[in-house]
A and B are shown apart, each in its own frame.
Chain A
């Protein structure tokens, strides 16, 4: 019983690391640009397909394809901000919600057209190997994904704290007008913020590829998790999103283990609704807009 519980917690933490990459992206865009990116999951999906095709066409290991998926998605992010999001900023909820929502639908259905609904998997030499820690079973691929996800989250933390661009980003997040008066080019900062967020989503996709099948709808679950985590962890709060994502992973895993294989999502949604009911401002406190 205890071993089962521990195993469920470990499984949850491992996948929670991936959720964290997606959530941090969502919360970063929300914090800086003040919009919710409904298409974040589709950028995870794009990251997965990039890794899949690099692996199957050119034999590049999914982990190495991080070096491709992250820069490609960064550029897509810059373009997304500059050509699309910028045009709806300050226009109210409807355009802001439905622009990225439409983008999500578009990318999903384009993927369906181009790549069909088939599930695509990549076999790596370590796909089937695992560590055994006492009674605990830890798949290597998931462990690597978790460690790299945490490393990337940490790198983002350092970036936001100590680089000029990171500081400009936080300034633009707090008071865009004042930041602009201080000589910060807000559109440039927004472009970098969206770019970095999408690069994280792309990284999540590449990290998932060794153990998670790619499909046009693959991003959906991750963006749902991210939304819940971002509400739980207080909107716009990077550390809150990270911690909440790990919690979500564990909650989902416990739901699957103890309620039933198809109950992971119910647990997650109920957590969201309960959070909304009792702590609408998120666990870390602060104002939920």
Chain B
């Protein structure tokens, strides 16, 4: 697992993990923990999106479809059949994987913008269908998820910190999967497809199969996030579960942070959610539209000036420092 990691990387990773694990012990404000959970969750969704959208450049704007399917599967299993959301979560992932097959078969016929539009349409169709499913999925009203008190086996906890650790675990899983894929042949194939699909096929990459497979992984992970989210907010309805904002934010955090990079979605989410939390504390939650106005301005700025995202900016700055250091070192060597 750790093969290919250099020593300083491992060190930083352990340090980061230690900080993240200790965070809820130090910070006890419920407001802060809530923000941390949002950051972890959206970073995780961004990572799931990034596998498809970042590496293979299949720019989906319909990941809410899988988020919603995950959320509904676990909720229906829990309320109708008393099955624990822990099992429901994996089942939801399975449903999402299955759903991604026909959706992918349709959408992968199209490229670029029309792929994006087709994915929007699939997510919208699912939302409209769930509005109609009044009998077993509660229709437009949605339902609250019965509060069982502190029931860890049913993914319900008194302590907010528990949710924090689940979200952290999801994020770690997402990062580990991306890390593995990035360094395997699949990762290289994905990047090749993202660069030029026709050229990739010409040299023997089975683009359709690779896209289908990575779409399944991406759908599975997104569905896990859906289950977690409705368990966390104790409520589900089609507008929440299939919210277009989920699809948008999944893409947004990845692009702002650095599309097609391991840490991009994480960095993007930290920036966007921090901005959003600041805005909220300055303006109060009353001003609808401020958050997305700011998000879209950031997105436009990134596209026009830094298409590699924040991670590109950071790498550049880091490179400049290292470069300056080594330049100084070589100057010193010449002087000496």
The digit string for A207-242, where 1 denotes a CB below 8 A from any CB of B, is 000000000100000001001100100010000000
- Asked if A35 and B113 sit within 8 Å, CB to CB, the answer is yes
Task: For chain A, residues 69 to 121, give those with C-beta under 8 angstroms from any C-beta of chain B.
Answer: 84, 87-88, 91-99, 101-103, 105-106, 108-113, 117
What interface size band does chain A fall in? 35 or more
- Asked if A269 and B121 sit within 8 Å, CB to CB, the answer is yes
Partner of B106, one of A103, A109, A224, A277: A277
With the chains together, A38 CA to B112 CA distance in Å?
13
Which segment of B15-23, B83-91, B213-221, B288-296 sits at the interface? B288-296
- Determine how close the nearest CB of chain A comes to the CB of B303; give it in whole angstroms: 5
The digit string for B307-336, where 1 denotes a CB below 8 A from any CB of A, is 100000000000000000000000000000
The digit string for B281-308, where 1 denotes a CB below 8 A from any CB of A, is 0000001111111011101100110010
Q: Which residue of A lies closest to B307 (CB)?
A: A95
- Asked if A288 and B110 sit within 8 Å, CB to CB, the answer is yes
- Asked if B113 and A265 sit within 8 Å, CB to CB, the answer is no
- Determine how close the nearest CB of chain A comes to the CB of B251; give it in whole angstroms: 7
Task: Tell me whether A60 is interfacial, beta carbon within 8 Å.
Answer: no
- Asked if B125 and A270 sit within 8 Å, CB to CB, the answer is yes
- Asked if B122 and A112 sit within 8 Å, CB to CB, the answer is no
The digit string for B124-142, where 1 denotes a CB below 8 A from any CB of A, is 1100110110000000000
- Determine how close the nearest CB of chain B comes to the CB of A78; give it in whole angstroms: 18
With the chains together, A111 CA to B296 CA distance in Å?
13
Q: Which residue of B lies closest to A104 (CB)?
A: B296
- Asked if B121 and A272 sit within 8 Å, CB to CB, the answer is yes
Task: Tell me whether B255 is interfacial, beta carbon within 8 Å.
Answer: yes
- Determine how close the nearest CB of chain B comes to the CB of A113; give it in whole angstroms: 4
- Asked if A262 and B131 sit within 8 Å, CB to CB, the answer is yes
- Asked if A265 and B128 sit within 8 Å, CB to CB, the answer is yes
Q: Given contacts A113-B290, A270-B125, are A88 and B303 in contact (CB under 8 A)?
A: yes
- Determine how close the nearest CB of chain A comes to the CB of B138; give it in whole angstroms: 16
- Asked if A289 and B112 sit within 8 Å, CB to CB, the answer is yes
Interface residues of A (CB under 8 A from B): 35-36, 38, 84, 87-88, 91-99, 101-103, 105-106, 108-113, 117, 216, 224, 227-228, 231, 235, 262-263, 265-266, 269-270, 272-273, 276-277, 280, 288-289
Provide 10 A-B residue pairs closer than 8 Å at the C-beta atoms, listed in order of the A residue.
A36-B112, A93-B59, A96-B113, A98-B255, A105-B299, A106-B300, A108-B292, A109-B293, A110-B289, A235-B114
Since A36-B117, A276-B109 are in contact, a sample of 17 more A-B pairs with Cβ atoms closer than 8 Å, ordered by chain A residue number, is A91-B307, A93-B59, A94-B307, A97-B59, A97-B112, A102-B297, A102-B300, A113-B287, A224-B121, A231-B117, A265-B128, A266-B129, A269-B121, A269-B124, A269-B125, A272-B121, A273-B121
Interface residues of B (CB under 8 A from A): 57, 59, 61, 106-107, 109-114, 116-118, 120-122, 124-125, 128-129, 131-132, 248, 251, 255, 259, 287-293, 295-297, 299-300, 303-304, 307
